[in-house]
Amino acid sequence: MTPGSDPAAPEGSGGRARLIVISLLALAAFVGLIALGTWQLQRRVWKLDLIARVNARVHAPPAAAPSPVDWPNITAAKDAYRRVSVAGVFDNDKETLVEAVTELGPGFWVLTPLQSDRGFTVLINRGFVPPERVDPATRAKGEIAGPVRVTGLLRISEPGGGFLRRNDSLHDRWYSRDVAEIAAARHLPAGQQVAPYFIDADAKPNPGGLPVGGLTVIAFPNSHLVYALTWYGLALLLAVGVGYAAREEWRIRRAGRTP
């Protein structure tokens, strides 16, 4: 060991090799962090565009609900939250109650098949009812008979169930609006095809005040800028840390070469 040298300092080719490996790992981490930050900015642009498109759909004049010829082309990206309208007759005897938590408190969504005048069946989320009004007899005025026209938002089926709870069709317990499973459980259709989507009815009051429609929550979390700044901040801290370590290494080596 040379007098005056730092015993902790890397020496010879082995020390240089370690420095090279550490430098390459730091560079890879820096590039990765920058890439993650840039990806989050790209996601933010996509999210803002999605929000703008959904807002445009929600406030657009209602279009006819997609018919069977259109069903294969329906996607969440281009069709979710479209404002649509459909006419027909409710099959009130086959309504399904799906657990819900809304601004009105906990309760249930009332999903009722509508036999449309265009030859297909579509599930209508007529709105919210509190637990004490789940029995149709307690809201008989809202069990509309005869022709109706429903305007609302097209929603994509929610297969499987809710968070940590799967639908239990055998015991008639529903936690998500799974169109295919509900249709099978209710033995739909009665000679008609069932749409692969459902419609959230708008806020037009129902007779007797229940169910309460128009409670669709349209919210898209947009924390991508925060995530981007976090990744970029970590990259900056890494660069500062590596720069400091490199300066100290250079200082130690220079001191070791001083006679």
Let me know whether 131 and 191 are in one domain: yes
Strand residues in the chain grouped as ranges (E):
63-64, 83-90, 96-102, 105-116, 120-129, 147-156, 161-162, 165-166, 193-201
Q: In angstroms, rounded to a whole number, what is the distance separating the alpha carbons of residues 154 and 77?
A: 12
One domain for residues 9 and 53: yes
Instruction: Please indicate, yes or no, whether residues 135 and 251 belong to a single structural domain of this protein.
Output: no
- Predicted pLDDT of residue 10: 47
pLDDT tens digits, 82-99? 999 999 999 999 999 999
Distances (CA, A) of 31 to 79, 223, 235: 37, 22, 8
Asked whether residue 21 is assigned to any structural domain, the reply reads yes
User: Would strands 120-129 and 193-201 be described as parallel, antiparallel, or unpaired?
Assistant: parallel
210, pLDDT greater than 70: yes
- Residue 72 located in a structural domain: no
**Same structural domain, 26 and 92:** no
For 229-245, the pLDDT digits (tens) are 999 999 999 999 888 88
Same domain for 122 and 185: yes
Q: What is the pLDDT of residue 148?
A: 97
Whole-angstrom Cα distance, residue 153 to residue 127?
A: 12
pTM value is 0.74
Place of tokens 């709105």: 127
Q: Which domain holds residue 149?
A: 82-209
Residue 129 lies in a domain: yes
pLDDT above 90 covers a percentage of the chain that reads 65
The total domain count for the chain is: 2
H-helix segments, 7-140 = 12-58, 76-79
